[in-house]
Amino acid sequence: MELKKDSNAVSIDMLLIVHSEKRRAAQGAHSERQADPGAPPQRRGGLQGVGNGIRRWQKFEGNDVHGSLAEKQNPQQTQVITSYDNQGTQLTVEVHPRDAMPQLLKKFSLAKRLQGDKNGNTRPRQPGAKDAHAYPWDRSSLKSMPLDLRQFEKLDSYASQVTVKSGLDELVSDLLQEAHSDLERVRVIWIWICHHIEYDVEAAQEKDRQAFKPTDILRTQKTNCDGYAGLFERMCRIAGVQCMTVPGYSKGFGYQTGQSFSGEFDHAWNAVYLEGRWHLVDSTWGSGLVDSATSKFTFLYNEFYFLTHPALFIEDHFPDNKNWQLLKPPQSLKQFENNMYHKSEFYNKGMLSAHPETSVIKTVNGKATITIESCAPTLFMFMLNGKQEHGLLSLRKNGMKLDIYPPTVGTHKLQIFAKGNSDIYSSVLEYTLKCNYVDIGVQLPAELHQPVGPSWFSEQMGIVKPSHPDPIIHTSDGRCSVSFGVDEGISVLASLHGDEGPITEETGRRYIFQLHREKRAELKVQLPQAGKFALKIFVKKRLEPGNYVFVFSYLLCCTNTKVNWPMFPESFGNWGQDNELLEPLSGVLPANRNVPFKLKLHGIAKALVKGQDTWPLTLNREGYWEGSCSTAGCQEIYVMVLENANHNFYSYILKYKVNSQ
């Protein structure tokens, strides 16, 4: 608009921002919530595991003038008037010299989107059909374009070591020294931001604040999510790459499973134009995490959010404009709220899918079942209400199955963790379980460690061809025998655990008697009473120091209330792994009886049984040592062996107790 045509002619640029009725209502409600000290805290988004990243999108990098005129008498100088009414409408008027560049466009983010790129384009095109990816995810790749991350190793190392010398332009220039394509230009900018810019937790939690200027971000090397997104966009444009900032909702810190989203957007990320298509990045979530307990930020690079496949990005990012989903068909806000949220580690650890696909599960007859499919064999664990109890987790070659039995009616939190190729378990899924019925008959032992049943992992640890491939073993008389092949050089240890009865940590192994026959181990188990018991299996390499390592558990179930088996005899260190005990198997012998003994012992010269007197055992044709002894006047009975015929020193190998008269 021209005011007059003379040497002091000026132009007026106007920027009108009008919030929708829905947004104004939401903002009004937000203000009321902030004013009410008794209201529940508002959900925070932004960084994963961190507070809110964006409170007011429409911010200038200069000083805001709320309802007042920045008076300037000289018409050659720029005048800016910014006004707000009580309905949330913002009107900004700029008066500047006719031939001057509008300052308003320099300050407002829209100006950056109007700046030309290296090809002379003045406005990035809006996303269209050619940018859309099919939904749901086709499992082809975690990325929206073919990438070999190994090609970035040298580039990433270079970018992470570049330091700020002066301003933003020089920083971008330094980064581009090793970048020779738009993809590499975007990559070096992404890597630099993710490794140098810290999430500003305090600023993110402020109720009202000014936007972060790029110069301030470089100086403090701190910002919030809109600062991350703004800096990324600015650096891309300096590098000649089309980039947009995308505001929206996120399932970040404070997100509650199944919650709804309304009001102000809580996060911001970017879209970059590469090889003829738009792609999505989130440098905030790529940089690290904030510990919710300490509110401390930790740099922890996350590759997942670089050029993420849109069908995966939509799981925790919902843009203000559905076109920026880059999906066909696009998802509604309701779908975004209801869809299962797979954390980035779900895909980083090689997971493909999970069932059920809803985040809230209702138990059926007191039970819920979750299955996960993975690209490769993976170790899993779970926690129900913070404890590794009330579930049966069995490993599969490509995934796992979990049967969960909540101990009480009501709402429960279920977390599932996966190990992947690292040594650390990471949370990959969270479910909310709603239980309206508890099956009293299903009470699992607290010591039932996971996983249950043999699997690819037990094979990897040296246990093969098990007699019982299923994790649950039912016994009617309270006895069972479990066997499996054992790789050369592997030692096996087993223990029995129950929540009731005489079993303690010390006696847990006495209800199991271990035998070895031709590279197979056999575990004879006798239960002290009816109930459910955990039979835990451990292994270690014989020639290596260290402790036994837990491999898996069996769940033993017996409903026969008449069961009352005693412990097996106590064995000592000289009891060889290849020895075999046929009788007596009970560790408690009757008083005043003649008791027969039959054992297979390897590499010994003599064997005897010692009580009140001594009874020698003789070697028969089948290779068994046989004999008998009297328990009269005895409290304990020992089996002893002489390993070398030239020596007179006998070693204890078994110990029995004798019932009192």
Q: Which active-site residues does the annotation give?
A: 225, 267, 282
As beta bridge partners, residue 248 has 267, 319
For 592-614, the DSSP string reads T-EEEEEEE--S-SEEEEESSSE
Is the CB of residue 320 less than 8 Å from the CB of residue 146? no
CB burial of 222-247 (b: ≥16 within 10 Å; e: otherwise) equals bbbbbbbbbbbbbbbbbbebbbbbbb
CA dist 1 and 9 (Å) reads 10
Q: Which residue has the tokens 């508002």?
A: 42
Using an 8 Å Cβ cutoff, are 382 and 414 in contact?
yes
- Residue 596's identity, in one-letter code, is P
Strands 625-630 and 594-600: antiparallel
Residue 450: name the closest of 361, 553, 354 by CA.
553
Please count the residues of the chain: 661
What is the rounded distance in angstroms from the CA atom of residue 351 to the CA atom of residue 347? 5
Query: For residue 374, what are the β-bridge partners?
Result: 351
Structure tokens at 162: 């570049």
Nearest to 277 by CA among 129, 112, 151: 129
Residue whose entry in the numeric block shows the structure tokens 């390592």? 549
Distance CA 134, CA 136 (A): 6
Burial of 645 (0-12, 13-18, 19+ CB in 10 A): exposed
